[in-house]
Amino acid sequence: MSSRRAFSTLLVAVSFLITASAKGQAPSFFMFEMNEFDISHVGFNTEASDFGPSFVGDELWFSAYSEKDAKKAVRGKTKNIYYSIFRTPIDTRGYTLYEPRVALKDINSGLHEGPVAYCEKTKELFVTLSNTVNVDVVENGKTLIKERIRLSIVSFVNENGRWVKKEEMPFNDKIYSVGHPTLTPSGDTLFFTSDIPELSCGGTDIFMVVRQNGQWGMPVSLSKNINTKGNEMFPFYHQSGMLIFASDSLGNTGGLDLFCCDLQPEGFGKALPLQMFNSPYDDFGLIIHPSGESGYFVSDRPGQNGSDDIYLVKIKNTFAQVKGNVYDDLENIPVSGAEVTLYNCNGDKIASQVSNHDGRFVFKVLRGGCYVAEVSAKDYASNRVAFGNSDNVSVPLTHDRTLELVIVDYDSGKAISDVRLQVDSQPTVMVHEDGVYSKKLSTEKVMNLYLTAPGYLNQPLEINTTLEYFTRDTLRLKKIEVGQSYLLDGIGFEPETSVLLESSRMALDRFVRLLHENPAIKAEIGSYTHTSSSEKGNLKLSQQRAEALVSYIRDNGIRKERVVGKGYGKSKPRIPCEPCTVDEIYINERIEFKIAAFVR
């Protein structure tokens, strides 16, 4: 046996297995929770023990006595009788065809044979074989030599229809037993039962070993989530990444009980009892057929032949696993910590849970049912989503959003009182002396506002609320005073021309709407230029621009007598300068509107 110093190198194999397996299908205990199981006794059981079922191609292999030896065993005459390997055909679902069992004569070791494990990919058969060894035993102060049985694992390959020995596992030893093999689908990782003295936690434990470049490494004891001071044995590695095994110490209900655990990136997780199979008696050796429709296990529960018998498990796909995710509908990111409550369509609560860090949740439901998931989370509006047989459910949540408007005088910036505000054709509300209006938003993305106040122009506005959880905007109302001028932002022209930029149309449309909402005023459109040409050239260009704006406004329904245009050239710069910087020119070139008079 290897030394303890060498044991530290075994951790490399553990890391290798976890890394390789984590890339495959995620294991899941839901395999058992999602189904119902019919358990029945199979007809090929003898009066003695039958155990160690395993799938080998389209056959079920197991260990048992011959009919003759079984009768001897029942009478207690077990000396010099040994378990042999038997096989019986199964269908594509894994159900036995109830044909007579046939003994496998190829191995014929003369001692106990089985259980076995078969790797479909590598076409290897791994067989538990027994051998006898002489050991020193101290009795009554005397050292005696006694014969003991030790188990070992040997691999076989099929040549011309016969199973031929390939190799003994390099970790077999006369001091301890190695048996009960099971493999990953790739055939590169072997799990087995052993009582290796230096590595065992107590009685028998479950070990694993990895094969790299055709060579088996050193055995590694699985985590304490699996192995205890008691006995763990009969492992079965399911293709989903789940390890099934038997233990007499993990909070069992009596004798050996069945457990399963999931292979996770950090190793095997907590072992969970398979209560649907466990009884007050020994229950062990559970295997699941690749079809997912059947399985077999061993139990000595009463009512049948009175010893270990093999039972068929018919798996009924009664339940479905519904996976869901909760996400922020604005930013399309997961929402963790959301309370997810499942109801049926009659309103009865079924279950609840909290979404994980990825916003995900999982429920077990009856197939063909009608369900509703109600989801709530802090700072979000609740949402309900109905679903039927869908395997995936997405629940969008809308973040609580607030719109806050501060309404002030255009020139002074002071709050305006007694403002009437209408939002999206809703009833008009009054905004009092603080000039602040707040509104909780739900699904609104664009809001249309209409503001009126004594002595101010009626102001229609459109606000985009899709980008922020909290939208704060300052609205500046313009006083109704003859001669008062206001800057029109967002209006521009092609350089040195009176050709209106396409991007200016939105700002002009807002101004046209302002004129429609204030039919009593006559407006003057003032154009100011600051080009490199002469005073006369600037005056001409500014007049052309003013006329272009007036033409657009009249084309959009404003009467001719209500709007006039005037070009001022460079005569009234906001920032006197000569020469001027680019920024100064940008400020001086502008469009203003002035309340010229009231229309009678």
Q: Is the pLDDT of residue 45 over 90?
A: yes
- Integer angstrom CA distances of residue 423 from 449, 462, 463: 5, 10, 10
70 & 199 share domain: yes
557 confidence band (pLDDT: 50, 70, 90): very high
pLDDT digits over 196-246, tens only?
998 988 899 999 999 999 999 999 999 888 999 999 999 999 988 889 999
Q: Is 305 found in the same domain as 157?
A: yes
380 — phi, psi (to 5°)?
A: -130, 155
Average pLDDT for 93-116: 92
The pLDDT of residue 30: 60
Question: 508 or 399: whose pLDDT is higher?
Answer: 508
> Above 50 in pLDDT, residue 504?
yes
Query: How far apart (Å, rounded) are the C-alpha atoms in residues 433 and 421?
Result: 14
Answer yes or no: do 275 and 132 share one domain. Answer: yes
Residue 594 — φ and ψ, nearest 5°?
Answer: -125, 140
Question: pLDDT digit string (tens) for 118-138?
Answer: 999 999 999 999 988 766 666
The residue among 267 and 192 whose pLDDT is bigger is: 192
Pair 414, 340 in one domain: no
Residues 418, 289: one domain? no
Q: Is the pLDDT of residue 536 over 50?
A: yes
pTM over cut 0.75: no
Parent domain of 539:
485-598
- pLDDT at position 270, please? 87
The gap from C-alpha 325 to its chain's centroid, in whole angstroms, comes to 7
Burial class (CB in 10 A: 0-12, 13-18, 19+), 29: middle
* 391 contacts 322 by C-beta, under 8 angstroms: yes
Q: Do 366 and 308 reside in the same domain of the chain?
A: no
460 and 503: one domain? no
pLDDT digits (tens, 9 = 90+) for 414-436: 988 888 888 887 788 888 778 88
Q: For residue 280, what pLDDT is reported?
A: 92
Give the pLDDT confidence score for residue 141 in this predicted structure: 74
Average pLDDT over residues 496-515: 92
**Same domain, yes or no: 70 and 180:** yes
Of residues 307, 251, 305, 261, the one with CA closest to residue 282 = 307
Residues above pLDDT 70, as percent of the chain: 90
Q: Is residue 297 located within the same domain as residue 184?
A: yes
227 with 97, same domain? yes
Number of independent structural domains in the chain? 4
Do 188 and 72 reside in the same domain of the chain? yes
Signed CA dihedral, 541, 543, 546, 551: sign only = negative
* Residue at a domain's end among 295, 317, 339: 317
CATH number for the domain harbouring residue 329: 2.60.40.10
pLDDT band at 143 (very low <50, low <70, confident <90, very high): low
pLDDT tens column, 352-364: 999 999 999 998 8
Cβ(404)–Cβ(472) below 8 Å:
yes
Mean pLDDT of the region 406-416:
89
Query: Are 523 and 512 part of one and the same domain?
Result: yes
Provide the pLDDT confidence category of residue 74 given band limits of 50, 70 and 90: confident
Residue 517's SS3 state is helix
How high does pLDDT run on average in the chain? 86
- Enumerate the β-bridge partners of residue 351: 342
Per-residue pLDDT for 85 more than 80? Answer: yes
- d(CA 247, CA 75) in angstroms, rounded, equals 29
